[in-house]
Amino acid sequence: MRNLKLTIAYDGTNYVGWQVQPNGPSVQEAVERAVEQLTTKQTRVYVAGRTDSGVHAIGQVANFSTEANIPPEKVKLGLQRFLPDDIVIRNVEEVSPDFHATFSATGKHYRYLILNSRTPNPLLRNYAFRHSAPLDIDLMQAGANYLLGEHDFRCFETRFPNKATSVRTMYSVKVSRQAGWSMWGSPAGLGEKEPFVVFDIVGNGFLYNMVRAIMGTLHKIGQGKWPPEQMREIIESQSRAVAGETAPAQGLYLMEVMYDGGITHQS
């Protein structure tokens, strides 16, 4: 029995998330159907992170076991033949039998994208959260710094408790501005410089809706409605009721999954 690891990118707009749900199409359903069509065997596909409805992925990781004797490169091409255009297999490799996309992961990198522009961009309505008023990224960074290290993050978890523990460790947080979007070019903000506010966070694990709740809190800080120090108070409160609202799904991307300190994201 072989164990194959997939690196997957997908546009989450038309899906109810990764996991199979009764209320609409899922990414898992599409991938498992493609595996069955390629190998002629119904197979469970395991995933690093169950992204929610509307959330995108650049470096999602999954694995499945198979007896099919197909080289990895041909598995990649074969699966793509059975997948819709908004799901792409970026890489396939054979790994050890004990590799598990979920339980072997040591960390994840998520990115949240805000279009901080007075003018809407019709091409980005499903790929960024637009906020028209100015955002102070220095204040947002100061607030984000309180996330670093090990904390009980239940204040950012929807429907607590969902896991055995809500303690997680954040390794890095960064709020930055970027100028362009490749589909739109330099006029993305119609004259506004660096209209994209990008939040990157890397940790050993994340709770349900955690990144979006953090982004909703940083959004308040960036508008000057809350001081950066309120992030610390929110974490210490361990109450979801005092944190910011859950930011919209379309701005969130699973960028990378880490295994044994390495990054799975490949170009």
Taking the mean position of all CA atoms in its chain, how far away is CA 42? 27
Q: Catalytic site residue 52?
A: yes
Q: Which of 52, 136, 138, 152 is catalytic?
A: 52
Structure tokens at 116: 């901080």
Phi–psi pair at 217, nearest 5 degrees: -70, -45
Burial class of residue 122 (count of CB atoms within 10 Å of its CB; 0-12, 13-18, 19+): exposed
| 3 state DSSP class of 121 | coil
Structure tokens at 104: 């072997």
Q: Which amino acid is at 37?
A: Q
Taking the mean position of all CA atoms in its chain, how far away is CA 5? 18
Q: What are the distances in angstroms from CA 226 to CA 135, 178, 210? A: 12, 24, 19
Q: Which residues are catalytic?
A: 52
